[in-house]
Structures are given as structure tokens and as C-alpha cells.
């Protein structure tokens, strides 16, 4: 589905305008719309699928943090007038989704996390390698996935362009450091919304034990592992991911209609 990026009131986003509830997708540090093509294609008619472009590269440098991004998402939801959202986040997007859910429980119908940061993550580290080292970036990007072939040239080029833009690279490092500081372990008990955890068994960035810890600490949660899958299950195993997500969202809708 070819959805155009809308620009309104300082926000950039896509929105499918589907007939059902809003399904808001929050991306990680690298990549945005391309990461969610499978979800967008599957759910855009039945749900109002919306993907806000997180202002990682647009916030003033002193506001670059996980908290700053949560604030941006909160303002976006308020601007759009969404009564309730099903919020799904991958990697950093999961971290933001968690904090948004805790801050605005009345706005969240359900929470979906996949490869989420917030407890433990192993990524690029606190500094980027020498600029211009394309092969290093290619290998690092491939490590995100169980199957290195998922790291397409377009994806590697996108990551490479980010780390070679000094302004963007500084903001990525600042955001990553902020994510490490904002550990959510002692806050997860506050989440009461139905929660779905979908993890790759071979995720090396947020390994399986992280998913199990989220499952232990979030009261109303379900956990599914996908084999031969890394840090971005919605990209690497889109059909399996979508089947699990569809069943979960149907359950959430059924529970709401009963109550």
C-alpha cells in the first residue's frame, strides 16, 4: 500500500484511515516506514494504521531523549484526537510505547512489544565507528537479523547515511544513551493493558531473556517466540508475526465488547 507522508502541525506521519480502531506503530532508531510494510499491508483496511515519524533528528539537542520522544508521541495523539490506541513498538519504539502506556493508561487499548529496549539492549554502543566505514555498517545492520539477506542494500544505505551525518549521529548516540539510563524495570507493574510480546529466538540485541523478563513483570501479557528470527520479527517473519498480532487484537476487541 502506497501511503503518503502527511505533514501537519509539525508532525510527519502516515495514516491508513481504516474503519476500525487505531493501531499506532512506533519505529526504532534506524528505519521507519519500511520496517512496518508487512503490518501496514495486512491491517490498513481493518484498522486505522498510523505511523508517526519520531522526531529523533528534529528535536533540539537538549531535548533529545527517550522522554522527549514520549512527549512528542503524546502530543501527536492529542493533536489527532485519538480516543484509544493499540500501540506497537519495535526496539526503541517499544521503549517509547511502554512509557507512553504508563503515562497515559486511559489512552491505550493494548500494548504490543517486539524486540523492545527498556530492560537491556546491546547495540552500536555509545559511539559510532569511523565515518565512511560502509562494510562495518553493513555487517552491523545484518546482525540485526537471523538471515543477513534481510538487510537489503536500501536498508544498509539508510543506516550508513544516518551515521555519516554528524548531526544525526550525535542525536542517535544521545538517544541510545538516554534509553540505557531510562530502565523501566521498576515501572512495568503499572501496565494493566493487555500486552503482547513477540520476540525472535535469535535476537542478539534484546535477547530472549529480555522478553521473558518483560513477561514476568507485565501482569497481563502473552509471550511468543519466533524461530530463525532476530531483532525485528515484523520484518523477518511478517506472516507469522501478523497471524499472532491479528489473533491478539481480535481477543482484545472481544474482551472489550464483553465488558
- Mean of pLDDT values over 32-57: 93
**Band (235; pLDDT cuts 50, 70, 90):** very high
For the chain, the C-alpha Rg in angstroms (whole number) is 17
Q: Are 42 and 49 in contact (CB under 8 A)?
A: no
Class of domain 6-121+183-258: alpha beta
**What is the pLDDT, as a whole number, of residue 128?**
54
Give residue limits of the domains in the chain. 6-121+183-258
Task: Please tell me the pTM assigned to this model.
Answer: 0.94
Q: Are 149 and 125 in contact (CB under 8 A)?
A: no
- Give 206-228 pLDDT, tens digit per residue: 999 999 999 999 999 999 999 99
What contacts 100, CB < 8 A, 6 or more positions away? 70, 73, 74, 77, 87, 107, 108
Q: Are 113 and 197 in contact (CB under 8 A)?
A: yes
**Band (255; pLDDT cuts 50, 70, 90):** confident
Amino acid at each position: 500500500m502506497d501511503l503518503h507522508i502527511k505533514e501537519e502541525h509539525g508532525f510527519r506521519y502516515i495514516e491508513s484511515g481504516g474503519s476500525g480502531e487505531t493501531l499506532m506503530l512506533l519505529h526504532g532508531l534506524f528505519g521507519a516506514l519500511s520496517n512496518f510494510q508487512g503490518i501496514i499491508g495486512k491491517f490498513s483496511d481493518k484498522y486505522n494504521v498510523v505511523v508517526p515519524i519520531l522526531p529523533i533528528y528534529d528535536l533540539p539537542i537538549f531535548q533529545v531523549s527517550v522522554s522527549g520522544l514520549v512527549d512528542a508521541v503524546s502530543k501527536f495523539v492529542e493533536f489527532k484526537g485519538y480516543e484509544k490506541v493499540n500501540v506497537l513498538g519495535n526496539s526503541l519504539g517499544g521503549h517509547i510505547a511502554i512509557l507512553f502506556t504508563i503515562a497515559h493508561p486511559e489512552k491505550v487499548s493494548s500494548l504490543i512489544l517486539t524486540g523492545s529496549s527498556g530492560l537491556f539492549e546491546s547495540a552500536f554502543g555509545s559511539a559510532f565507528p569511523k565515518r565512511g566505514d560502509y562494510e562495518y555498517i553493513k555487517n552491523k545492520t545484518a546482525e540485526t537479523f537471523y538471515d543477513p539477506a534481510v538487510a537489503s542494500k536500501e536498508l544498509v544505505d539508510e543506516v550508513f547515511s544516518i551515521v555519516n551525518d554528524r548531526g544525526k549521529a550525535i542525536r542517535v548516540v544521545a538517544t541510545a544513551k538516554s534509553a540505557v539510563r531510562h530502565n523501566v524495570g521498576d515501572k512495568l507493574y503499572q501496565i494493566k493493558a493487555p500486552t503482547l510480546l513477540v520476540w525472535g529466538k535469535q535476537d542478539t540485541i534484546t535477547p530472549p531473556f529480555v522478553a521473558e523478563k518483560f513477561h514476568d513483570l507485565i501482569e497481563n501479557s502473552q509471550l511468543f517466540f519466533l524461530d530463525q528470527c532476530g531483532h525485528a520479527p515484523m520484518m523477518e517473519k511478517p506472516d507469522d508475526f501478523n497471524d499472532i498480532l491479528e489473533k491478539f487484537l481480535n481477543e482484545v476487541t472481544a474482551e472489550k465488547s464483553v465488558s
